[in-house]
Structure 1
């Protein structure tokens, strides 16, 4: 295909970009920068990602971020959304639709389950209770949805996820005999949500556990009862989020432990492996155990021994 076709797609997708080069140049594949194949288009994420001594004149087409020097590459798409532009182009031109049955083998779908249009459900799944699944949602293999779960449209629930069981909560008497608390809430999942492999999401005790539109949860994470994740919040590596935690819009949790009833403000960033024991303000970055605000120091402030 010609570069012009990619430019037309980016315009249609409303991805901002500028282009220098020859739109009539042919490209016939895509490749990574480190294993570049002749005639393909590729992506330079950061300047330091360019292999030492690499001749950029040999690149048929390159996507670059605004702060990356494309050097002497003959055809350059420059965009503030370089990753999105590059991978969206790959998917648009090269992804092949999967032929999958509507419902896989050995899957149980209860009588109260409501399925939207073009829903796909894998093998060995259990959907049992007041379950509603929106249009174009894909549920992979060995997924369990129980009690009361609502899933929006265009969601992707990966294999092994368990959604809707009662959470871990108990009452006890003076002798410390524990009785588990019966849950009556559900789980409400918005549109365009990703639930990774083997994620566990507990239903609420009275109100629902909620994941709003665009939330992305990576594999092996745990979200306890009564939690609320705002729009486009992300949990990219396994986290343990205790009960009644409120995660704000576009917040980012990276492999953390979050104490119950904490609030993570919108656009906050919780660094890798942090243990959060108190609220995180909107837009704040916290790191460490216990998590504290991250302060970037100038180099001269560090003592040298």
Structure 2
């Protein structure tokens, strides 16, 4: 696909600075781009590349003040990162959903329906009484259990496993190897020291525009639903336990684990390798930094947590500063104690 610089600017509602007639046929990073490429500049750390890039055009902020002339045409927009993301979404949609129809062998269970313009890859399995919308893309080796509902435009990559009763909204993305609806970790201790399995009879609900990364697992609820709200983005290798709720547009990075019945608010950020204990509430716009462990509920909005156990970022940084000084403080304390115990000169 080819578009002129001017056509792209029109789509992004931007303004062209330079020649609007050259054609663009690919997207590239600003430091690697060649003729015919479109790139973007959002992080000013990469600004030096703007003056040397081989890109035909670069998306930049309307407010960027140039330090020298550029060979590339500029497309000035309000938010370069968001604008470039829009183009990536368009390109991805155009390329990955080109497949249509049904490859054999594949299986569609009794009573199940699927909308127009869909794709079912070879060895995919759809159970009984499922309701699947239009424009859905199901790659090979996907398993979909009984009574699953999937909204329009959702994509399930190879090897994804969707357990029975799961509800997935429109325009969701489920990456390879993800498991949605597996049993929650529920076991009742017995008097003899053994454990009795507690049946997990709830389900998982993913609202619209949710992304679930590769090899992530989201457990079904014991009762009711494990819920991932609209626009939430879940990275690879994340574990969300039974009855967890993840709020709207919250992002959860890789190797994070959230224990059962914890509720994460809207617009939160859980960085990589975060651990959240069970039955907690993290209110809206909470940020938990990497490798932190949260053991109590957070009620104040906008808090940034760090450490294990995690506490307020500013207090954590002050504590770490003191921690680094401990050897020196110990030496000075030891000197002070020795000076106080030495006999006075007569």
TM-score band by shorter chain is 0.7 to 0.9
Taking the aligned partners of 2:4 and 2:253, their CA distance within structure 1 comes to 35
The partner residue of 1:222 within 216, 239, 242 is: 239
**CA drift at 1:232:** 0.8
- Give 1 or 2: higher helix fraction: 2
Q: Does residue 85 in structure 1 map to residue 83 in structure 2?
A: yes
Q: Specify the alignment match of 2:314 in structure 1.
A: 295
Q: Secondary structure at the match of 1:42?
A: strand
Greater gyration radius: 2
Q: Specify the alignment match of 2:302 in structure 1.
A: 283
Q: Specify the alignment match of 1:99 in structure 2.
A: 99
- The alignment covers a number of residue pairs equal to 296
Taking the aligned partners of 2:197 and 2:250, their CA distance within structure 1 comes to 30
Deviates more, 1:272-281 or 1:151-160: 272-281
Q: Specify the alignment match of 2:180 in structure 1.
A: 163
Q: Does residue 2 in structure 1 map to residue 4 in structure 2?
A: yes
- Relative contact order (C-alpha < 8 Å, sep 6+): which is higher? 1
Taking the aligned partners of 1:134 and 1:39, their CA distance within structure 2 comes to 37
Taking the aligned partners of 1:165 and 1:59, their CA distance within structure 2 comes to 47
Q: Does residue 262 in structure 1 map to residue 259 in structure 2?
A: no
Taking the aligned partners of 2:234 and 2:86, their CA distance within structure 1 comes to 20
**TM-aligned CA distance change 1:165 to 1:55, over 3 Å:** closer
**CA drift at 1:177:** 2.3
Q: Does residue 24 in structure 1 map to residue 20 in structure 2?
A: yes
Q: Secondary structure at the match of 1:8?
A: helix
Deviates more, 1:40-49 or 1:218-227: 40-49
> Residues 1-26 of structure 1, C-alpha deviation per residue, up to 9 Å, x if partnerless?
43321221013xxxxx5x36236342
Taking the aligned partners of 1:270 and 1:122, their CA distance within structure 2 comes to 34
Q: CA RMSD in A?
A: 2.8
Q: Secondary structure at the match of 2:146?
A: strand
Deviates more, 1:199-208 or 1:32-41: 32-41
Question: TM (normalized to structure 2)?
Answer: 0.77
**Runs of at least 5 residues in structure 2 that lack an aligned partner in the other structure:** 103-118, 329-346
- Aligned partners of 1:167 and 1:203 also within 8 Å: yes
Question: TM (normalized to structure 1)?
Answer: 0.86
**CA drift at 1:271:** 0.9
- Aligned partners of 2:9 and 2:16 also within 8 Å: no
**TM-aligned CA distance change 1:51 to 1:191, over 3 Å:** same
Q: Does residue 137 in structure 1 map to residue 154 in structure 2?
A: yes
Deviates more, 1:149-158 or 1:267-276: 267-276
Q: What aligned pairs does 1:57-72 form with structure 2 within 5 A after superposition?
A: 60-65=56-61, 68-71=64-67, 72=69
**CA drift at 1:67:** 6.9
Q: Specify the alignment match of 1:14 in structure 2.
A: none
Q: Specify the alignment match of 1:201 in structure 2.
A: 218
- Aligned partners of 2:5 and 2:21 also within 8 Å: yes
**TM-aligned CA distance change 1:61 to 1:122, over 3 Å:** closer
**Runs of at least 5 residues in structure 1 that lack an aligned partner in the other structure:** 12-16
Deviates more, 1:223-232 or 1:75-84: 75-84
Q: Secondary structure at the match of 2:314?
A: coil
> Residues 162-189 of structure 1, C-alpha deviation per residue, up to 9 Å, x if partnerless?
1112200111233322111111211111
**TM-aligned CA distance change 1:79 to 1:285, over 3 Å:** farther
**TM-aligned CA distance change 1:175 to 1:218, over 3 Å:** same
**TM-aligned CA distance change 1:39 to 1:183, over 3 Å:** closer
Q: Secondary structure at the match of 1:175?
A: coil
Taking the aligned partners of 2:85 and 2:226, their CA distance within structure 1 comes to 32
**TM-aligned CA distance change 1:57 to 1:167, over 3 Å:** closer
- Aligned partners of 2:34 and 2:53 also within 8 Å: no
Q: Specify the alignment match of 1:33 in structure 2.
A: 30
